[in-house]
Amino acid sequence: MIQIKNKKIILFDGVCNLCNDAVNFIIKHDKNTCFLFASLQSDAAKEILLQFPSKKNDLSTILYFDDGTVYEKSTAIFQIIRILNPPVSWLYVFIFVPKFIRDSMYKYVVKNRYQWFRKKSSCLVPNSSIEDRFLI
């Protein structure tokens, strides 16, 4: 069983180009290598989600696990941003926008992400320089 204690794990839609670009952005701005990643289509994600019966494997949302606490949708994004290096981390100030507004915008993007950004035929395959950051 994958242990999530003392870890920061991001589960993302592995065939979504926008999601893959977001993962690459996070890696680039995560100089302290805080985050681990797994596509929602992976066995690792399924194993992690077994520890959270209330969270289903929903490809329409990002899930962020921080030491056993789970965040989703816009809150997950802002909790991730908070840890990234400045000036990206300064965007965390927008967490104060009411959640219903943030999540409405999030849902709109998610609904259109394949149309706007297309999708891959298979999940992201990390190169050797970052493969240790991915749970398979």
By C-alpha distance, which of 67, 31, 62 is closest to 51?
A: 67
- How far apart are alpha carbons 65 and 18 in whole angstroms? 20
- How far apart are alpha carbons 21 and 109 in whole angstroms? 14
Mean pLDDT computed over 93-111 = 97
Single-letter amino acid, residue 15: V
- How far apart are alpha carbons 124 and 114 in whole angstroms? 15
What's the predicted TM-score (pTM) here?
0.91
Across the strands, what pairs with 70?
65
Comparison of pLDDT for 6 and 128, the residue scoring more: 6
Residue 8 has pLDDT above 90, yes or no: yes
